[in-house]
Structure 1
Amino acid sequence: MSKTLKIILGVLGTAIIAIFGLIMFGLYLMEDEDRYGDLVYFNQKVEDGDIIFRCKYSGELGQTTEFNEYGIIDRSWGSVYVWDNQNTIKQDLYDWAEKGNGTRVRVFRIKKNDFNMNKVELKDGTYNYLMNSGKMEFVTENY
Structure 2
Amino acid sequence: MSKKLKIILGVLATLLVAFFGLIIFGLYLMADEDRYGDLVYFDQKVEDGDIIFRCKYTGGLGQTTKFNEFGIIEKSWGNVYVWDKQKTIKKDLYDWAEKGNGERVKVFRVKKSNFDINKVKLENGAYNFLMNSDKLELVTEN
Q: TM-score, normalised by structure 2?
A: 0.98
Considering only aligned residues, what root-mean-square deviation do their CA atoms show, in Å?
0.6
TM-score by length of 1: 0.98
- Corresponding residue SS for 2:138: strand
Deviation string, structure 1 residues 24-73 (Cα, Å, up to 9, x no partner) = 10000000000000100111111110000001111101100000000000
Identical amino acids, percent of aligned pairs: 76
Q: Does 1:26 align with 2:26?
A: yes
Q: Deviations over 1:49-100 (max 9, x none)?
A: 0000001111101100000000000111111110000101111101000000
Shift of 1:129: 0.6
- Give the distance between the partners of 1:80 and 1:13, measured in 2 at CA: 38
Report deviation, 1:124: 1.2
Query: How is 1:125-136 mapped onto 2 (pairs within 5 angstroms)?
Result: 125-136=125-136
- The equivalences for 1:1-143 within 5 A come to 1-142=1-142
- 1:9 shift after superposition: 0.5
Q: Within 2, Cα distance between the matches of 1:62 and 1:108?
A: 23
Equivalent-residue separation in structure 1 for 2:2 and 2:41 (angstroms): 51
State the aligned residue count. Answer: 142
Shift of 1:141: 0.7
Structure 1 runs, 4 residues or longer, greater than 2 Å off: none
User: 2: CA distance between counterparts of 1:13 and 1:113?
Assistant: 57
CA–CA distance in 2 between the matches of 1:76 and 1:119?
A: 26
**2:75 maps to amino acid:** R
Pairwise CA distance, 1:139: 0.7
